A and B are shown apart, each in its own frame.
Chain A
Amino acid sequence: MKFLVCISNVPDTTTKITFTPDNKEFNKAGVQFVINPWDEYALTRAIELKEAQGSGTVTVLNVGEADTEPNIRKALAIGADDAIRVNAAPKDAWFVAQQIAHYAKEGGYDVILMGKESIDYNGFQVHGMVGELLGIPTVAPAMKLDMSGNTATLEREIEGGKEIVEVAAPFVASCQQPMCEPRIPNMRGIMTARTKPLKVVEAVGEGAATAVAEYQLPPKKQGVKLIDAANAGELIKLLRNEAKVI
């Protein structure tokens, strides 16, 4: 089977978020970028399924400019066979989804895996857009994915529980824990990644459907009010009479 895994290049989870002085753009200066943590589940699961099937390929795809290549190479080091970079700044989910759908169709992939959401823009929407553009089912967010022949059995998280869903390939799934234990690159992987094919292609389709007018940081907290542990019950009175939340 041919697996396509979409990876987003995002600020490391410990990043202190700041913006350019006009508040119109994210300030990338000094920021370490990583593979979106959710996408690591998609990548590792695709590799595991390929290994279990004993044949097939795992291709990673990123929509991004040349500075995302170190993380694409990292995905290759983890075990993907080849990579595609759509050479464009990812403007919004609609723009990204069109690229993924186009190159997924061109490459004839059976299974398209993504992360649940991109931790930078938290859209949680690329999955459905790609599924709709290709006219195939989407399962989001998926906590478990098994394949038997052409049929996939997935656990889809719903609020308060889960649904067991069976779909035939091709399909899109957006992945989250506890699907698998994400792998980290080993030495051999890092060596072989250097020579694995990374194809750079041009963007297609329409531009973005949304634009960021301005960013803001959340308002600062007033400071903590400490209550003596010996007198802990006092906290409950404050929550009722002062904060009015209980």
Chain B
Amino acid sequence: MSEHKITLTVNGREMSGYAEARLTLVDFLRDVLGQTGTHIGCEHGVCGACSIVLDGKPVRSCLMYAVMADGHEMTTVEGLEGPEGELSPLQDAFWENHAMQCGYCTPGMLIATHTLLQDNPDPNEDEIREAIGGNLCRCTGYQQIVEAVQMTAKKLREAS
């Protein structure tokens, strides 16, 4: 049973801690580093609540052991806010469109749709649904989430 010192760059800040090899990345983020924005749902890869951006790409943080991420860079939902702690345009659109009810899936949904908009500023509905295809929501029926992403895309296009 090996124990490891793990150093990650989380939302631009270097953070480190110790963990057994079997600790998943999401548990490490939450329990060791205190970054509790990322949620844990199923713990075996099916719900998407634990989504984070690892080295620029959305992945599930319950399907990595923390030690595997040593030396890597990631963005969690805490990293989406603006410099003054204000909501990002996407977060704001989730709020305006009632794209959440209980909020359990929200960090994962935000990460999935944030990375979608980075790659594709003008996604159609199919592309949005494909991007959240691995994220389960038991409350919203997904429609408002799709609308929030569409509103954000429109606002970002108008602003640029």
Is this pair of chains taken from one and the same complex? no
Interface residues of B (CB under 8 A from A): none
Interface residues of A (CB under 8 A from B): none
